[in-house]
A and B are shown apart, each in its own frame.
Chain A
Amino acid sequence: MRPSTRCVLAFVPLALLVACTGSADPPVYGADPPLPEPQRGLLPSMKIAEPTLWGDRRPQVPEGYRITAIATDLQIPRQTLVLPNGDILIAEGRGGGAPALTPKDVIAGIIKARGTSPVKGGNRLTLLRDADGDGVYESRTVFAKDLNAPYGLALVGSRLYVANQDAIVRFDYQPGQFTAAGPPVKVADLPSAINHHWTKSLTASADGRFLYVGIGSNSNITERGMPAEVDRARVWQIDAQTGAHRPYATGVRNPTALTIQPVTGALWAAVNERDEIGPNLVPDYVTSIRDGGFYGWPYSYWGQNVDTRAQPQDPRKVASAIRPDYAVGSHVATLGLAFSSPAMGEQFADGLFVGEHGSWNRSPPVGYKVIFVPFRGGRPGGPPVDVVTGFIGADGKTRGRPVGVTVDPPGGAHHRRRSFKHGLAHHAGGSTGSQ
């Protein structure tokens, strides 16, 4: 039977950055990706994107599937969570604000400001409801506001946990609720000084006892100094009752999404790796996370490949570095991660959906799509399959960027993306072919 699965989209204002000049080989995938020699010219390759409206176009999905926008004009959507009654929670916000330290930071700040959305982060959670199950989410309410750049979301029983950029907070939640009953309670502080990579990803263990929080590094490759990296580039395990934490895995440069594998209960992460050593280095990856494991950053990448930019080096750490499970290509910027279910149809029954935000520092650009990594026997078992594409056209213009990915248990995959709906209207007002 052919599933007429719903793939849903949310539109939000945003402008973009894409990659750039020159040429490069196609990105590499899998457990044993070829790793070229590091290379870096005088100028890093990058380019400002050409954002445009969707118009009559839609993202492409495989035959037999359909893609629909379920919410538009969000304020910088991040991760999503499907609640037990089918409601969808969306975290909206923008954090960061690391200070400029060098002339490069100042110049890069000006360039990047041109490529990001003029829309302010919502600092809120939006709740969508499709009461009659027709696929149209007719109700929309602000579940909670005045949060601080919320990103990761997790529900354990009647407790809803939200990862702000500086702390885990908790709401009481009853199915059917449209808005939170009151302000949140703080569970634990998170490392937030500088906050170069500010997104705090979040998931709960299968038994609900522990929360796992992904904490990104405070730099690309230690250029803000080693002291800035204390408690960074790691996954914390937090006791949901007491708020006590311990490092669960380290050397994970930027773990932007965490999820628990069904059946095994293993923790998986989507990780963004380092830049500025070539178009095919270093592959971003998805991997199961081992308790106590060290994944290389900053000293090495993909196991024992030493990155000489990080000084002083630590040979013992390098020797202990774990090779990740599965490379999804360099600079694709994985931001979404969700295990599939048989309800998604035969082709996508067993595996992992991965949302790729897209590169701004690689040519030709990569990412800007949602892929599916098929699994066999609980491990990645084959090349990735494109699921949602068309965010970057043959004309090089970009129409939004995938962010979080969520699978609706009854059988739809919710892929959120940012679009320029709003940003474009803004852009069109001021641009007369200048860009």
Chain B
Amino acid sequence: MPLFLGVLLSDVAYANSDQVQWKNFASWLNAGALLLSGLALLWSAMALINADRHRRLMLSSGLLLAGWVFGSVNSLVHAKDAAATLPEGLVLAVLVFGLVAAASWLGLYIDRPEVRT
């Protein structure tokens, strides 16, 4: 999630400065974020298989999946040259961060009661 936030912030910096290095940061942060959130997706899929039906878990996994899919699209958008990435890349960065943040919040919210029991 922090990596997706990094993508968003780098994109904002690029949009404001036209310095391509910010876009390069965003591209790599997005790649790293996809890798880690891909692992998270894998774990939540396994949790879904093992666990009993759990509404929140399904919802958080669904949001994570949506975030990952849009994040993948965003990596392709970021592969366009120079300013061709804008504005779609920034819009997608906001969307992906929102989805992944919601998924994380739901996921952690689920974990806590389980720890208590």
Q: Which residues of A contact B (CB under 8 A)?
A: 40, 42-43, 101-104, 219-226, 276, 308-312
The yes or no answer to B60 lying at the interface (CB within 8 A) is: no
Q: How far is the CA of A148 from the CA of B55 in the complex (A)?
A: 65
Residue of B76, B80, B82 most packed against chain A (CB within 10 A): B82
* Contacting pair A103 B81 (CB below 8 A): no
Q: Known contacts A103-B31, A311-B18, A312-B18; is A276 also within 8 Å of B83 by CB?
A: no
Q: How far is the CA of A40 from the CA of B23 in the complex (A)?
A: 19
Q: How far is the CA of A284 from the CA of B21 in the complex (A)?
A: 29
Q: How far is the CA of A219 from the CA of B81 in the complex (A)?
A: 9
In the complex formed, the residue of A with least CB distance to B79 is A104
Residue in B73, B75, B84 whose CB lies within 8 Å of A309: B84
Q: Which residues of B contact A (CB under 8 A)?
A: 18-21, 23-24, 27-28, 31, 73, 75-84
The A interface is mostly helix, strand or loop, or mixed, namely loop
* Contacting pair B18 A276 (CB below 8 A): no
* Contacting pair B83 A311 (CB below 8 A): yes
Q: Known contacts A42-B73, A103-B27, A103-B75; is A221 also within 8 Å of B20 by CB?
A: no
CB proximity of A259 to chain B, nearest CB, Å: 30
* Contacting pair B84 A102 (CB below 8 A): no
* Contacting pair B18 A40 (CB below 8 A): no
- Complex contacts, B20 vs chain A, CB 8 Å: 222-225
Closest 8 CB pairs of A and B: A104-B79, A223-B81, A311-B83, A309-B82, A225-B20, A42-B76, A309-B84, A223-B82
Q: Known contacts A224-B20, A312-B18; is A40 also within 8 Å of B28 by CB?
A: no
- Complex contacts, A223 vs chain B, CB 8 Å: 20, 81-82
* Contacting pair B81 A221 (CB below 8 A): yes
CB proximity of B59 to chain A, nearest CB, Å: 28
- Complex contacts, B31 vs chain A, CB 8 Å: 103
* Contacting pair A101 B24 (CB below 8 A): yes
Q: Known contacts A42-B77, A223-B20, A312-B18; is A104 also within 8 Å of B82 by CB?
A: no
Q: How far is the CA of A308 from the CA of B18 in the complex (A)?
A: 12
Q: Known contacts A102-B24, A102-B28; is A222 also within 8 Å of B79 by CB?
A: no
- Complex contacts, B24 vs chain A, CB 8 Å: 101-102
- Complex contacts, A310 vs chain B, CB 8 Å: 82-83
Q: How far is the CA of A86 from the CA of B47 in the complex (A)?
A: 77
* Contacting pair A276 B75 (CB below 8 A): no
- Complex contacts, A226 vs chain B, CB 8 Å: 18
* Contacting pair A102 B82 (CB below 8 A): no
CB proximity of A305 to chain B, nearest CB, Å: 15
* Contacting pair B73 A308 (CB below 8 A): no
CB proximity of A360 to chain B, nearest CB, Å: 16
* Contacting pair A308 B79 (CB below 8 A): no
A-B contact list, 29 entries, CB within 8 Å: A40-B80, A40-B84, A42-B73, A42-B77, A43-B76, A102-B23, A102-B24, A102-B28, A102-B78, A102-B79, A103-B27, A103-B28, A103-B31, A103-B79, A104-B27, A221-B81, A221-B84, A222-B81, A222-B82, A223-B82, A225-B21, A276-B80, A276-B84, A308-B83, A308-B84, A309-B81, A309-B83, A311-B18, A311-B83
Q: How far is the CA of A103 from the CA of B24 in the complex (A)?
A: 8
- For the A-B complex with A43-B76, A103-B75, A222-B82 known, give 7 more contacts whose Cβ atoms are closer than 8 Å: A102-B24, A102-B28, A103-B27, A221-B81, A224-B20, A309-B81, A309-B82
